[in-house]
Amino acid sequence: MAKLNPFEIAGRQLSECAKILKLDSGVREILRIPMREFHISLPIRMDDGSVKVFQGFRVQYNDARGPTKGGIRFHPDETIDTVRALAAWMTWKCALLDLPLGGAKGGIICNPKQMSKGELERLSRAYINRVWQLIGPDRDIPAPDVYTNPQIMGWMMDEYSKIVGKNQFGVITGKPLSIGGSAGRGDATARGGMYTVREAAKECSVDLKEATVAIQGYGNAGYNAAYLAKTLFGSKIIAVSDSKGGIFSKEGIEPEVVHEYKAKTGSVINFPDAESISNEEILEIEVDILVPAALENVITEENAPNIKAKILAELANGPTTPEADDILCKNGVHVLPDFLCNAGGVTVSYFEMVQNFNMDYWDEKEVHERLNKKMTSAYDSVLNTSKEYSINMRQAAYVVAVERVVEAMELRGWI
């Protein structure tokens, strides 16, 4: 099967929403095309003395509701269309959570697993050197994403501060706590997702204390989802996987123990007292809650008929194709769409921005309370819209978000 283009999928999802809202062609065109995008080259001196040129991107999709916001990914398979799609989804995500922000995304084509700490620092600083005039606390605020972390955000913030000649903690979120980071940011994506799972369980009459959970992807979001599902709800984690494969145990898996095992061995595979399972098989396990927490387009029209979960919680960006969406809806799977389910990360990033501006930092309990309120409100808006329009949850999330963006564009006189 040909590789699916995530930006085309994002466009198709937007087109469905535009039909529901009866938007005119001009508005559709403004919403369909990124406001601006940048392609940059990054020559880096490697540890062996050679020079390697990396390609990077930054897409600022729409800023009608406020400064753009979005992560920076380091990935060997990064493409401009992936970045465009993620910037679009970030636009809808910020609007859905009613944050005063627009959407953006960035990326560098590289394999951070094959780079030293020094090489990663030079690459991170070089990226900011190329884009510093395009970003800023009141213009465009990057954050961590796939294979980037608080340390990388710290280097980037420091580089920007050096260039502009003053400390600018608010230019980057997801930073270490000691240089302007926010309490609660580390597990925010997973925690926000689990708050929506809690609300979905009420709607679907799923007892979370008895629920079984499978998680594809065992990075930061996947591990924290497993840990929180167990500690917050008492749910049983029966399968997890990473890029090399997965494990299954009907008796249940201890998330922390598997996490420690992966840290030592580099993968969850061959974990003692568990069966081996593939990344494809984990999606089709009979389970109450399925959490795709890896990359795009893993649930397609080929495997969607075999999804047996009652709740599909999309912690990954774009894990489900439009054709699969239709099948899941017909089969009664309650889908928590990505830009609702994984919006905890950008929400706490927004909290970090507020704290940086005010120079007043909140404790973890306050961050969790504020996040809970935001995620619960967003879920309720999507569920109510789904029922009002008789549409699926993804379409409902788009309707809520796009209406808010269009309203801002109208009030600003763009349309």
Amino acid 401 reads A
383 Cβ neighbours under 8 A, 6+ residues apart: 199, 203, 393, 396
Q: Do 103 and 140 have their domain in common?
A: yes
Give residue 4's pLDDT.
Answer: 79
What six digits make up the tokens of 227? Answer: 């840990």
Q: Do 100 and 129 have their domain in common?
A: yes
**Distance (Å, rounded) from C-alpha 224 to C-alpha 227?**
5
351-366: buried (b, 16+ CB within 10 Å) or exposed (e) per residue? bbbebbeeeebbeeee
Number of domains composing the chain: 2
Give residue 296's pLDDT.
Answer: 82
What six digits make up the tokens of 186? Answer: 């580390």
H, E, C per residue of 359-411: CCCCCHHHHHHHHHHHHHHHHHHHHHHHHHHCCCHHHHHHHHHHHHHHHHHHH
Q: Do 193 and 165 have their domain in common?
A: no
Q: Do 141 and 208 have their domain in common?
A: no
Q: Do 227 and 261 have their domain in common?
A: yes
Q: List residues with catalytic annotation.
A: 105
Give residue 318's pLDDT.
Answer: 87
Is the residue at 351 inside a domain? no
**Distance (Å, rounded) from C-alpha 346 to C-alpha 342?**
8
Q: Do 39 and 73 have their domain in common?
A: yes
The pTM assigned to this predicted structure is 0.93
**Distance (Å, rounded) from C-alpha 291 to C-alpha 277?**
16
Q: Do 333 and 193 have their domain in common?
A: yes
Amino acid 359 reads M
Is the residue at 406 inside a domain? no
> Ramachandran region of residue 38, left (φ > 0), alpha (ψ -120 to 50) or beta?
beta
Cβ atoms of 119 and 111 closer than 8 Å: no
Is the residue at 18 inside a domain? no
The residue among 143, 170, 197 that closes a domain is: 170
**Chain center to CA of 61:** 16
Is the residue at 300 inside a domain? yes
Per-residue pLDDT of the chain (415 residues; tens, 9 = 90+): 456 788 998 999 999 999 999 999 999 999 999 999 999 999 999 999 999 999 999 999 999 999 999 999 999 999 999 999 999 999 999 999 999 999 999 999 999 999 999 999 999 999 999 999 999 999 999 999 889 999 999 999 999 999 999 999 999 999 999 999 999 999 999 999 999 999 999 999 999 999 999 999 999 999 999 999 999 999 999 999 999 999 999 999 999 999 999 999 999 999 998 999 999 999 999 999 999 998 788 999 999 999 999 999 999 988 999 899 999 999 999 999 999 999 999 999 999 999 999 999 999 999 999 999 999 999 999 999 999 999 999 999 999 999 999 999 999 999 8
Is the residue at 99 inside a domain? yes
62 Cβ neighbours under 8 A, 6+ residues apart: 31, 34, 35, 68, 91, 102, 103, 405
Beta-strand relationship, 51-62 and 102-109? antiparallel
Give the CATH number, domain containing residue 200.
3.40.50.720
The residue among 137, 170, 203 that closes a domain is: 170
Give residue 297's pLDDT.
Answer: 87
Is the residue at 402 inside a domain? no
Q: How many CB atoms lie within 10 A of CB 404?
A: 19
Give the CATH number, domain containing residue 140.
3.40.50.10860
Q: Do 192 and 334 have their domain in common?
A: yes
The residue among 307, 341, 375 that closes a domain is: 341
Q: Do 306 and 193 have their domain in common?
A: yes
Environment class of residue 80 by beta-carbon count within 10 Å: exposed (0-12), middle (13-18) or buried (19+)?
A: middle
Is the residue at 118 inside a domain? yes
Give residue 2's pLDDT.
Answer: 56
For CA atoms 322, 326, 327, 333, give the dihedral sign: positive
**Cα–Cα distance list, 223 to 218, 233, 240, 256, 260 (Å):** 5, 15, 9, 8, 11
Q: Which domain holds residue 297?
A: 188-341
Q: Do 138 and 239 have their domain in common?
A: no
